[in-house]
Structure 1
Amino acid sequence: MSLPELVRTTLDDESVAARVDLGGEDLLLVTPTRTLVYRAEGLLSDESIEEYPHDAEYVGVEEGRRKATITLDYGLDGERTFTVPTARLDQVLHPVLAGVLNARGITDSGETIKRTFRFSELTIVITSARLVRHIGSAVWDEEYDEYHYDDVTDLDFEEGSVATSVVLTVGDRQERFKTPNDQARALREALVDAVCAYHGVDDVDALRAATTTTAEDDVEEEDADTAEDTVSFGDGPEPLGTSVPDADESDSSPANADAESETTDEPAPDRDGFGTSGFESAGVVDDPAVAEELAALRKAVEEQNEQLERQQQTIQQLIEELRRRG
């Protein structure tokens, strides 16, 4: 369908992401950067077009019986409003809100806004990569929550007499919100389809299995890293031989000095097989300080072994619990 000349001129080759007929010849067009509201010439008014940039900090809606007013607040630059037929409000709000979320950097390039739901003071936006939730009288402002599907490991829906609770498992916590029963099915289908498509699975059961398997793999990798890290003894006792006092240095009495002068010309026999390698045999150690050091080393080794055993038991218990959940 062709566009009025005024609209084509204003677009200036910018692509149109959405088009909504507002009745008569009036149009609303959404581009990547702005919303255009075109009013056709009438008996009491001339043809006109208004532009509303998407870099708004606030989106509000007031519904009347016949007309609905959409407000875009630009902070220090003030706010601007436009009206649409109440019957077309949902068709208008969805692409406008998608443009604002993209312009504010909340959604990424190429990310698709699947569905928008408004329940009194709760707004839910389902995209191809995340769920955005806003609570308050505004449809959206900068006080919002988002849950990326990367972190969603389970979905559940608890039906009540009036409303249905939507339960998202995000990491190690659960996030809940309620939707009226008359719209619960639509929201459920949209959310399940989006999350499962993101993870490449067919249904919620497959999602649970996939995320459980991933969690087990992560645990096993972390356990392997932990086991490698705990082998080190840190700054514990030094290895044997490095702190054994030199017998020649420990006794410097004159008598021994004389004895050395009768023997220094003769090479010492290689009784221990170390030769001239620079290492010495530990031999039999009678020094109390060395014995105490050996005991401390033995105690450190025993404590490390006990700690490794406790960690292994904890790891096995965690893996078993994860398997039971799957």
Structure 2
Amino acid sequence: MRFRDYIDIEQYSLTKEKKNQYFFKLLNDLNNHHLSNSIDHKKISEVYFHKKDEISSVDQVPFLPVSIFKNKLLHSISEENIYKVLKSSGTTGSIPSQIVLDKETAALQTLTLSKIISHVVGKDRLPMMIVDSKSVLKNRKTFTARGAGILGLSIFGKKHLYLLDNDFELLKNELKEFSKKYNGQRVLIFGFTFMVWQYLASVDLDFDIDLSNAILIHSGGWKKLQSLEVDNLTFKKILNNKFKIKPENIYNFYGMVEQVGSVFLENSDGYLHCPNFADILIRDPKNFSILPHGKEGLIQVLSIIPKSYPGHSLLTEDIGVIMGEDDASNGWKGKYFKILGRAKKAEIRGCSDTFNK
């Protein structure tokens, strides 16, 4: 099947057998592309994976530790074709990842993201509230993960309201006007999880907002919320009590700047779900062997989107477990999983050091 035909298949409609048939071939083709165009990827594949001429399954595709993008500017394109460089937001003092995009990969990321998000939002653009400041979009050449997320999701909205000013103060008057105009109507809300909590859920307002038909999409910042003893259920409950947002219309997602465009949306069971364009494997932190469903290990993310850099097969620093496949209660096909936290520093360092010797 051609790549463009695969993109047009309805999201979450592929059973394990069908996805394995199509996804592996596209991923293998992409892997061969990077072997031919990225010296670093070829070197790692040959030295650490003893790459054979033929790869017969997804789990045999060589992977890179996600942390490698903090130390190396990897790309499979010439420097003159670099269109944009994405940077991870990172914590204070940490080194950000840098991801090189050409125009083709940037366009593919936008297209695939639209296929995933429109599956829950619909095709009509909705009035949109963005729980952030416009200031994060200042540099269009070099984006942080937050800026890339906002830009990617903003295409699903219209009449955009950025909820914070340049000093990250809540624009209460603008929010009040938005609520007057769109109370009870279908609207789209996007923000990073901790910011939604801090600047929307936790703010005392002197006016009511009816967001009973709103769709909220959010991601990131769970570590800060855990320190406040706020889990996913509490997060949804507070937003429902305060703004009437239906819990089933609140979608957490898992994604990273290293694979923008391939996001894992929360399904109706509260688990993260693999879209057509991406998949995951769980590996044992000790020997990197594949673990079966129900066993905890390091999450490996796979995507058929990254053409400008070898980000198609990455071993993350997250510990997760696959909860099931093809049997989600909302009818979505594919694997679904949950994240349990970050790997111990020793495990992360051991993996990273292996590829930096």
> Which protein has greater RCO, CA pairs closer than 8 Å, 6+ apart?
2
Same fold flag (TM > 0.5)? no
**Over alpha carbons, which structure has the higher Rg?**
1
Report the TM range for the smaller structure's normalisation: under 0.3
Q: TM-score, normalised by structure 2?
A: 0.21
Tell me the TM-score normalized by structure 1.
0.22
